[in-house]
Amino acid sequence: MKTITQRELAARSKAVLDEVEAGETYHITRNGTEIAEVRPLTTRRRFVPVEELQRKWRNAPAADYAKMRAEADEFYGDEDRVGEDDRD
């Protein structure tokens, strides 16, 4: 953990946040008194591996596209819908 002043945080915010992203924790002081803590989020990830997605979706229910279409038509109406024969 590092301690910095409010003024130093304002002057070096990008560098401080880069260090926080890398795992560092900062305590921020104002007039010599600690007023805040800046720390990394504990569960932040930049991507999810394909294997994990496959494992999580393996037991997901199958999509019923006909039911989805019927619900959309009921909600929005089907008068202005583009059909197969309307496409160019």
DSSP notation for 17-57: HHHHHTT--EEEEETTEEEEEE---SS--S---HHHHHHHH
Match 């930049």 to its residue by tokens. 46
How confident is the model at residue 48, as a pLDDT? 83
> What pTM did the predictor assign?
0.48
pLDDT at 87: 55
**CATH dotted code for 2-38:** 3.40.1620
User: Average pLDDT of the chain?
Assistant: 87
C-alpha triplet 15, 12, 45: angle, nearest 5°: 35
pLDDT tens for the chain, 88 residues long, are: 999 999 999 999 999 999 998 889 999 999 999 999 999 987 667 788 899 899 988 988 888 999 998 998 888 887 766 666 655 5
Spatial distance between the Cα atoms of 5 and 35, rounded to a whole number of angstroms: 10
